[in-house]
Chain A
Amino acid sequence: MDETTLVARAQDGDVLSFEVLVDRYQGPLFRLALRMLHDRGQAEDVVQEALTTVWRRIGMLSDPVAFPRWTYQITTRVTLNALRSRTRQPVDAADPVTLDDGRLDRDAADADRFDPAGVTENQALATALRTQIALLPDELRLCWTLYADHGRTYQEIAEIIGVSRDTVRGRIARARQRLAGGMTSWQ
């Protein structure tokens, strides 16, 4: 069912339509929080709080078309609050487990059986990039993730975070520069 219809119904109080929205959004929002917090439990808490807030305030959304941007805005706010209020998780570049992407390694390990050389290199590249992303300062990592993983435009990211479009553009460019520089040590 198209999102406009689902959102309109959820605005009236239709909980079944809201449930479909939860199904569609909980994965991406979880992955966003996970990239920022590096902790599954905290990321789950973020998703729960964000989507509960979405339900409670959905009547305030004037245009159903703005739903994705609004939902990401709420999730980003909850995520940044969680980041600020906890003691910082040290990110150990040498420890893939800190990246909470253990599954990345396991999936690749399975694939190794089919194409040892090619997949291992692929996997190493991916792990290296993941490490670099995790090392980015929060504000750069947030913009990068919204752009690269969630396909938001610079304008949308600006509205989600509450900064100018130029600021977003600058942060993504600086993130890209750092990531590219960080990858050279992999070679």
Chain B
Amino acid sequence: MRHDITAGNPSAAGPSELAERLHDKISSVPGVERLHPTIRYAVASVGAGNLRAASASLGRILGPGESTVDAYAHADGIVDVTVDISTDFSTDALAVCREIRRVITTEVISAGLLVGQIRVTVRG
């Protein structure tokens, strides 16, 4: 399942570090109000030692710096990324999502990994 992709690429980050970096970058995209935890892959998206986050009341007990980005790494270095955001609609939702997709692609590639499935959802 999940493991660090480091073979042949010393700068490659583990999935949870990637998720945290994505959280920071995506939060900075203009128009993003906040990221919301995605429930399904909760366990995969948080770092070690944060088991509490895997429970049903996930959203509220993610600690500071915890990622609300689900970055799921397959064995072959392909990463699927899911993120739920709310927007303030200061710019149009499609433009915001396209920028987030661009950010995800950039970060995954800089981590030495391959982009799998991306899923960005604007929620209310």
Residues of A within 8 A of B (CB): 13-15
Contact = CB atoms under 8 A, between A and B. Distances in A.
B49 interface: no
A14 B124 CA distance: 8
Contacts of B124: 13-15
For the complex of A and B, 3 pairs with smallest distance between CB atoms: A15-B124, A13-B124, A14-B124
Nearest to A13: B124
A32 B118 CA distance: 50
Nearest to B86: A15
A15 B36 CA distance: 14
A12 to B, nearest CB: 10
A15 B124 CA distance: 8
> What DSSP secondary structure best describes chain B's contact surface?
loop
Interface extent on B, as a size class?
Answer: under 10
A23 to B, nearest CB: 19
B66 to A, nearest CB: 22
A13 B123 CA distance: 12
3 contacts: A13-B124, A14-B124, A15-B124
Nearest to A14: B124
Contacts of A13: 124
A161 B124 CA distance: 36
A15 B33 CA distance: 15
B59 to A, nearest CB: 13
B88 to A, nearest CB: 12
B56 to A, nearest CB: 14
A52 to B, nearest CB: 12
Contacts of A15: 124
A13 B124 CA distance: 9
A56 to B, nearest CB: 13
B24 to A, nearest CB: 25
Interface string B15-33: 0000000000000000000
A11 to B, nearest CB: 15
Interface in B85-124: 124
A4 to B, nearest CB: 21
Contacts of A14: 124
A15 B34 CA distance: 15
A177 B61 CA distance: 50
B10 to A, nearest CB: 45
B87 to A, nearest CB: 14
